[in-house]
Amino acid sequence: MRIYFFGFKFFETLELISGQVSFLKALKYGIIPLFLTIVFLLIITLLFNHHIHLEILKRKKSVEEATDSILTQLLFGNDSYENMRIAVEVFKFGVPYTRRWCRQFVLERILQMKQIFQLDGEILLNIYKLFEFEKITYGLLRHKKWYKRSLGIYQLQFLHDVAKKKELDLLLKERNSEVKSNALITLISFSPERFAILANYDNPLNKADEIKILDIIYHNTPVLPKKTCILLKSKNTSIVILGIKLLSLYQVPFSEKQVTRLVRFSNFRVRKEAIEAIGKLKMKEANKVLIDQYKIELHKEVKMSILVSFKNIGNQENLELLKSLLNTEQDTDLKFKIIDAIVSLQPYFFEERTNATNTFDQETYSMALHVKDPYLV
Amino acid sequence: MSLYETILDFLEFIGGIFSAVYLLAYLILGILAFISLKEFYRSKYFLRKTILTKSNQAVGVSIVAPAYNESVTIVSNVKSLLSQEYPKFEVVITNDGSTDDTLAKLIEEFSLVKVNFHYQEKIKTKPVRGHYKSTNPVYSNLLVVDKVNGGSKADGSNAGINSSKYSLFICTDVDCILRSDTIATLAKPFIENTEKVIATGAMIRISNSCEFKDGRLFKSHFPSNFFARFQELEYIRSYLFGRMAWSKINGLLLVSGGLGMFDKETVIDAGGYWHESLGEDFDLIMRMRRLMHERKKPFLIKYVPESLCWTEVPSTFNVFFRQRIRWARGLIQTIRIHRRVLFNRKYGLTGLIALPYFLFFEFAVPIFEVIGILILLLNLFFFEVHSYALMIITVTIYLFYITITLLSVLGDQIFFKHYASQKEMFSLIITVFSEPILYHPLNVVASIIGYYHFFINKRKKWGEMTRKGFKKALE
């Protein structure tokens, strides 16, 4: 048979290979009806899904007012527990509470309210229990799917349900790193003063974990635990970094021994973090260590951090070093930071020198103008 | 058997194998996209965006947006960019030598004054005339760069990157409307991963027909314009189906020029956007990937399946066709420039899978389609056509195509639920069925012309798109 259109030869070959079953017949009686069915089902699903979405939007709108009203009453009404329970029962009767979307809507609204009004965990937990949502949350914690457990932890953290600490302790032993991390963060959020437990945490923390932990500490400002310094001795470098950040947040200066150890730490991220903290804490006594480190430091980012710290803790010795570096430094980023630091330590250095000898090249002059411009600070 | 018949036999065989592999590739991409979407939605409780938008530990991000003759919309668009909900960001607008009063409007509205900005030209650009900052503290995070026109968006973006102060930057168009949590959403992958993330991208939607209020999306409608509605469909399929799948295997080669977040250091080391490129976004990602492979450093390019950006697309035949011709030229130009990467083990997944896919299934498909039609016509003239087989196979391919598009649309509806009415859903479904017949051939022709222009080395011409502006929501 001759070829008839592009690609047919290949299909003809397939037909020969398949032997008994004609390829075209397979398409006609198998694949095409299958595709037609899929296309039909997809269209129905698409229209149905969109219809349901619009319906739920409408329904949610209809229960929105009632939900907001009951939650406001419960949160700010100072009612007795019995009155609150009766109000919730009346509410449940007035809305399609048996429907999943409705329960979900109320649950989300409670969590939203907590976020908006920064509500006390105990009041919220009571309201949560009145709606019997705690059963859902507890159920999620034991769910076989990790992301459901993660959702459960998220709700628990929102509720500040400290009674479930034991369950969270168990989740710390999870293999899934996300669940493990979330459990750890929630435990810290329950008792922020216990963040020293991090010392024994062996998984690497990413920036997200750092942000979450620091966020909890920042919003709760607990008393700094005595043992926080042990974080600096952890074998896990991300815990060391977190320890540095925490001490910096609490304005706790490092000891001389800690400064030397951290500024010369093998991991450059730790060095950088420690140097930045030294600058923020204005630890002038660490000046000599930083000057020595600058001379041997190979990592550009760390060098930049040292220069930034010089702005806060520098003295005449730093200034002399910076002036000598000004003539030799070839890297423009470092040169920029050097000029910035010089201006911080001796604000009229460039004007005085320019008036006297006019020795600066165009680049240095331009950088000096930049760091002194009030709109660019 | 004549020589003619032998050649046709050969082409037929190759064509068949090609089609079968193409369909298989699509199936694999579909499965990967599904897994990727599932993973994304399962991990949403790991780091809540609300923490990021309030944290004093957030990483700084610069929004870089070049503007050329955008006088009509520049003020409202800059205000929209400044309304991002994120604790540490700046907006860097590059006035790329506008011949209208774009700069004057910015100066007047934002009380700008010229500052002594030390411009470090880490990426080569046309001369910068000056930098402007606002005297009003409310706009302290706005920086305007005024430069000589570079004839391309790339040059404007590069000047913005050189002037930006944070280690991450978003590259966008000044006329794009961004969702208020765009920075937080795009920055999340950089923060959540322990491996180095060099770029992130997200879904871009079409703003034609949408309603906006105070610089934000108010109501989403399916476009009414012929070209816009097909492009909407194309965007959904390409973003949800293609890019999610490539993101899953870390093979993403394209982060759209309309919206992407990048690691500044890697971009500068890779040489920034190339101003001669017709597909500068594709080219930049290729160069960033090459750099990381050559340095033997692990990296990630992540795609976020959320609609974060709304942009106006061509709504007339001329503008649309010109754009597609340019895209086709950009595709072949980039593949040619990076041809050494192809099938090169040194470049890992980029050289062995991602770029070959672009070569065979993005670049070659229009050529195969045209050859197929030509052979069919030759057969019609010289031989008897097996119309039954032709019909069966055409219907199968058509249904496969429709299924893929409908699956993408369903995914879009489940995760984003964008359209305001059921009537618009019907329009969308009709568009799905008519796309292969009405719209796809236009793309094929534009691609072939683009390739032809590339081979005859026709001088590149950007052309201008007349913007209709955004429809405002009724108060």
Give A231-237 contacts, CB < 8 A, sequence gap 24+.
A231/A196, A231/A198, A231/A199, A232/A258, A232/A261, A232/A262, A233/A199, A234/A198, A234/A199, A235/A202, A236/A201, A236/A202, A236/A203, A236/A204, A236/A205, A237/A204, A237/A267, A237/A269, A237/A270
Q: Given the DSSP bridges, would you call strands B259-263 and B300-311 parallel, antiparallel or unpaired?
A: unpaired
How many of the other CB atoms lie within 10 Å of CB of B240?
25
Question: CA-CA distance, B341 to B354, in Å (whole number)?
Answer: 10
Place of tokens 């037609």: A36
Domain boundaries, chain A: 1-78+91-131
The answer to which of A248-252, A296-300, B109-113 has the lowest mean pLDDT is A248-252
Nearest by CB to B413, which of A35, A50, A206? A50
How many of the other CB atoms lie within 10 Å of CB of B24?
10
Question: CA-CA distance, B90 to B280, in Å (whole number)?
Answer: 23
Residue B135 has pLDDT above 70, yes or no: yes
Question: CA-CA distance, B167 to B144, in Å (whole number)?
Answer: 18
Residue predicted with more confidence, B7 or B238: B238
pLDDT number for residue A9:
61
| CA angle, B89 then B93 then B95, to 5° | 170
A134 in Cβ contact with A156 (< 8 Å): no
Judge: B19–A10 Cβ closer than 8 Å, yes or no. yes
pLDDT number for residue B475:
35
Question: CA-CA distance, B363 to B282, in Å (whole number)?
Answer: 13
B450 exposure class (CB count in 10 Å sphere: 0-12, 13-18, 19+): buried
Judging contacts by C-beta atoms under 8 Å, the chain B residues touching residue A53 are 413, 417
Give a yes or no: residue B440 inside a domain. Answer: no
Q: Which domain holds residue B199?
A: 33-320
DSSP state of B264: H
CB contact set of B97 (below 8 Å; sequence gap of 6+): B68, B126, B147, B148, B149, B150
R_g (Cα) of chain B, nearest Å: 23
Question: CA-CA distance, A61 to A56, in Å (whole number)?
Answer: 8
pLDDT number for residue A237:
87
Question: CA-CA distance, B145 to B165, in Å (whole number)?
Answer: 13
* pLDDT, tens only, B346-393: 999 999 999 999 999 999 999 988 988 888 888 778 777 777 878 888
CA A92 to chain B, closest CA, distance in angstroms equals 28
Give a yes or no: residue B180 inside a domain. Answer: yes
Nearest by CB to A42, which of B19, B192, B406? B406
Give a yes or no: residue B451 inside a domain. Answer: no
CA A89 to chain B, closest CA, distance in angstroms equals 31
CB contact set of A55 (below 8 Å; sequence gap of 6+): none
Nearest by CB to B115, which of A36, A214, A373? A373
Share of chain B above pLDDT 90, in %: 59
Residue B168 has pLDDT above 60, yes or no: yes
Judging contacts by C-beta atoms under 8 Å, the chain B residues touching residue A336 are 118, 120
Sheet of B177-178, strands arranged across: B112-115, B128-134, B142-147, B89-96, B61-67, B168-172, B259-263, B197-206, B300-311, B177-178
Residue B472 has pLDDT above 60, yes or no: no
A126 pLDDT band, cuts 50/70/90, is confident
Judge: B193–A51 Cβ closer than 8 Å, yes or no. no
* pLDDT, tens only, A154-188: 888 877 877 888 888 888 888 888 888 888 888 88
Question: CA-CA distance, B85 to B187, in Å (whole number)?
Answer: 12
Residue B280 has pLDDT above 80, yes or no: yes
Nearest by CB to A46, which of B12, B55, B429? B429
pLDDT number for residue B474:
39
Q: Considering chain B, what is the average pLDDT of its residues?
A: 88
User: Domain tally for chain B?
Assistant: 1
B465 pLDDT band, cuts 50/70/90, is low
- What's this model's pTM, rounded to 2 decimal places? 0.87
Residue B470 has pLDDT above 60, yes or no: no
Integer CA distances (angstroms), A36 to A41, A374, B412, B435, in order: 9, 68, 21, 17
Q: What is the CATH number of the domain that holds B59?
A: 3.90.550.10
* pLDDT, tens only, B422-438: 888 899 999 999 999 99
pLDDT number for residue B459:
63
Q: Give whichever of A235-244, B30-39, B47-56, B124-133 has the largest mean pLDDT.
A: B124-133
A369 exposure class (CB count in 10 Å sphere: 0-12, 13-18, 19+): middle
pLDDT number for residue B94:
96
* Identity of the residue numbered A122: E
Residue A219 has pLDDT above 50, yes or no: yes
Residues of chain B numbered 360-379 and touching chain A (CB < 8 Å): 371-373, 375-376, 379
Q: Considering chain A, what is the average pLDDT of its residues?
A: 83
pLDDT number for residue B466:
56
Residue A3 has pLDDT above 50, yes or no: no
Please tell me which residue of chain A has the smallest CA distance to B426.
Answer: A47
Please tell me which residue of chain A has the smallest CA distance to B392.
Answer: A28
Residue predicted with more confidence, B194 or A200: B194
Place of tokens 């095409």: A32
Give a yes or no: residue B365 inside a domain. Answer: no
Interface probe, candidates A1, A3, A38, chain B, greatest B C-beta count within 10 A: A3
pLDDT number for residue A17:
56
pLDDT number for residue A6:
57
CA A144 to chain B, closest CA, distance in angstroms equals 14
The answer to which of A80-84, A302-306, B414-418 has the lowest mean pLDDT is B414-418
Nearest by CB to A4, which of B16, B371, B389? B389
Question: CA-CA distance, B203 to B250, in Å (whole number)?
Answer: 17
Mean pLDDT, rounded, for B453-462:
73
Give a yes or no: residue B424 inside a domain. Answer: no
pLDDT number for residue A355:
64
Residues of chain A numbered 125-164 and touching chain B (CB < 8 Å): 146-147, 150-151, 153-154
Residue A20 has pLDDT above 70, yes or no: no
Judge: B192–A147 Cβ closer than 8 Å, yes or no. no
Asked if A206 reaches chain B (Cβ–Cβ under 8 Å), the answer is yes
Residue B461 has pLDDT above 80, yes or no: no
Helical ranges in B43-168 per DSSP H: 49-54, 74-82, 102-110, 153-163
Judging contacts by C-beta atoms under 8 Å, the chain B residues touching residue A335 are none
Q: Given the DSSP bridges, would you call strands B142-147 and B89-96 parallel, antiparallel or unpaired?
A: parallel
Judge: A218–B56 Cβ closer than 8 Å, yes or no. yes
Q: Is B474 left (phi over 0), alpha (psi -120 to 50) or beta?
A: beta
pLDDT number for residue B473:
47
pLDDT number for residue B1:
60
pLDDT number for residue B460:
59
Asked if A370 reaches chain B (Cβ–Cβ under 8 Å), the answer is yes
CA A207 to chain B, closest CA, distance in angstroms equals 5
Judge: B192–A212 Cβ closer than 8 Å, yes or no. no
pLDDT number for residue A1:
42
Mean pLDDT, rounded, for A6-34:
70
Asked if B117 reaches chain A (Cβ–Cβ under 8 Å), the answer is yes
pLDDT number for residue A198:
76
Nearest by CB to B15, which of A6, A154, A369? A6
Mean pLDDT, rounded, for B235-247:
90
Judge: B42–A372 Cβ closer than 8 Å, yes or no. no
A99 pLDDT band, cuts 50/70/90, is confident
